[in-house]
């Protein structure tokens, strides 16, 4: 099947390319870009991209598909439809499923289930410790063979620093990347909101910034000690970014991401106890949000992810402190990134890099770029159309987002996965 994407503005951050030209796809792979078709190329399908941006499919470093175990919250089918509708063609899923992704068989089952043409490429993040319990190492080599691209703990901390040291050392033996959240479990105990004025006013138990910086200091010290490839997930504070920058200057090769909602929200968005604003890490102060916004622009923060966490209504229709944590995000990653780019006047080339080539590098996959010969994972988006965040428009089974009711810039027109038209937003 040959596809000709015609008349679009091709943005390929990895190659620094931003120009109006066509893209040609054959047998699921990119053949090349140019104003004329390659020799002997006959298009079976022509996709009109007039007025649209044609870029690599989005790569999401954290999307919970809720399988296995939480099918009442979401299924592979519903969340893959959401991914395609959001222009996401490749994603990493955290190990906090039920059972936990700590056995090769489970990982194989998941990747096997996800192997449908209209489904995004799924890369499980293996559990670093058995049951995420922080005590016993998982069979990382086996898990890697089964398809895990990295090892992590989802939102669970490894409390015992000796176990953490061993886990990092063992991962470093095989050069496996370790993706960890920096949050001290003791300082975060019972906390549900950023420890500041808003929490004081609403009477919510606070999580201080020190919960992030203390855990981050531990992670960075042990990364230096072990030489492990450390990726810090969901940085939430200005102080945390400063530490990452300082660590890099000191020669520690650390990458980090934040989730896209943190670019737009702060603790004030909790409003009158909006359970959709119950997130982990918590929405922090306005100055933290501003630091995240400029940190992502400067590259201090390497990539932005959706941290997609579908939660059913029953889980959210509760008092703030009892509500389940998380927000749906696969369909908001692109529009919220574009909104940030517009507001911060970040060039599209940079903005799109943060959701394509940069996360690809962290994931260690040869993707997120439009090189000839690579699988045709493509997103065609209309930057001038709005995406209205409504329960009906969201394909994810999770309708839980603090952005409900807003119109956000950028609508996906087509999503191609291995050259397969996984989403057609024109029909």
Q: Which residues bind another protein (CB under 8 A)?
A: 195-206, 208, 264-266, 268-275, 277, 286, 314, 317-322, 402-403, 406
Assigned token pair, 220: 């960075």
Of the listed 307, 358, 377, 418, which one is catalytic? 307
118 versus 312: smaller Cβ distance to another protein: 312
Q: Say what the alpha-carbon torsion angle 108, 326, 248, 254 is, to the nearest 10 degrees.
A: -10
Residues 318, 320, 321: CA angle, nearest 5 degrees: 105
Whole-angstrom distance, CA of residue 265 vs CA of residue 288: 10
Whole-angstrom distance, CA of residue 318 vs CA of residue 24: 50
245 versus 404: smaller Cβ distance to another protein: 404
Q: How far is the CB of 191 from another protein (least distance, A)?
A: 12
Q: How far is the CB of 197 from another protein (least distance, A)?
A: 4
Q: How far is the CB of 350 from another protein (least distance, A)?
A: 22
Helix residue ranges per DSSP H, 28-182: 76-85, 104-113, 140-146, 161-173
117 versus 271: smaller Cβ distance to another protein: 271
Whole-angstrom distance, CA of residue 387 vs CA of residue 368: 23
Q: How far is the CB of 242 from another protein (least distance, A)?
A: 20
Query: Is residue 242 annotated as a catalytic residue, yes or no?
Result: no
Whole-angstrom distance, CA of residue 403 vs CA of residue 411: 15
Contact by Cβ (8 Å): 209, 239:
yes
258 versus 357: smaller Cβ distance to another protein: 258
Q: How does DSSP classify residue 132?
A: G
175 versus 197: smaller Cβ distance to another protein: 197
Among 107, 109, 4, 77, CA closest to 47:
4
Strand partners, 194: 207
Q: How far is the CB of 198 from another protein (least distance, A)?
A: 8
Q: Which residues are catalytic?
A: 307
């Amino acid at each position: 099947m040959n596809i000709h994407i015609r008349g679009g503005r091709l943005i390929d951050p990895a190659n620094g390319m931003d120009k109006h030209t066509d893209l040609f796809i054959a047998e699921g792979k990119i053949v090349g870009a140019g104003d004329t078709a390659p020799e002997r190329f006959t298009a079976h399908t022509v996709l009109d991209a007039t007025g649209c941006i044609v870029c690599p499919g989005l790569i999401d470093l954290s999307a919970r598909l809720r399988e296995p175990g939480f099918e009442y919250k979401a299924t592979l089918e519903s969340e893959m439809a959401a991914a395609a509708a959001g222009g996401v063609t490749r994603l990493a899923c955290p190990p906090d499923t039920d059972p936990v992704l700590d056995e090769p068989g489970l990982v194989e089952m998941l990747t096997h289930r996800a192997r449908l043409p209209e489904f995004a490429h799924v890369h499980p993040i293996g559990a670093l410790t058995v049951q995420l319990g922080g005590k016993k190492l998982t069979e990382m080599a086996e898990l890697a063979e089964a398809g895990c691209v990295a090892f992590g703990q989802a939102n669970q901390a490894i409390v015992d620093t000796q176990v953490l040291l061993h886990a990092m050392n063992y991962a470093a033996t095989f050069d496996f990347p370790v993706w960890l959240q920096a949050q001290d479990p003791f300082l975060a105990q019972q906390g549900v909101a950023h420890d500041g004025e808003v929490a004081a006013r609403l009477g919510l138990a606070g999580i201080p910034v020190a919960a992030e910086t203390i855990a981050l200091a531990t992670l960075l010290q042990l990364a230096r000690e072990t030489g492990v490839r450390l990726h810090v997930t969901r940085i939430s504070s200005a102080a945390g970014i400063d530490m990452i920058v300082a660590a890099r200057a000191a020669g520690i090769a650390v990458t980090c991401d934040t989730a896209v909602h943190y670019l737009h929200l702060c603790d004030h968005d909790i409003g009158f106890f909006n359970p959709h604003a119950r997130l982990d890490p918590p929405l922090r102060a306005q100055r933290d949000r501003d630091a995240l916004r400029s940190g992502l622009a400067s590259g201090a923060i390497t990539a932005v992810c959706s941290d997609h966490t579908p939660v059913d209504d029953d889980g959210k229709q509760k008092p703030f402190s009892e509500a389940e944590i998380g927000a749906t995000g696969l369909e908001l990653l692109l529009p919220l990134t574009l909104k940030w780019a517009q507001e911060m006047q970040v060039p599209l080339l940079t903005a799109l890099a943060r959701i394509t080539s940069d996360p690809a590098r962290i994931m260690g996959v040869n993707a997120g770029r439009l090189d000839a010969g690579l699988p045709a994972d493509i997103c065609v988006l209309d930057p001038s159309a709005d995406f209205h965040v409504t329960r009906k428009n969201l394909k994810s089974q999770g309708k839980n987002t603090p952005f409900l009711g807003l119109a956000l810039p950028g609508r996906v027109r087509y999503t191609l996965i291995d050259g397969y038209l996984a989403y057609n937003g024109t029909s």
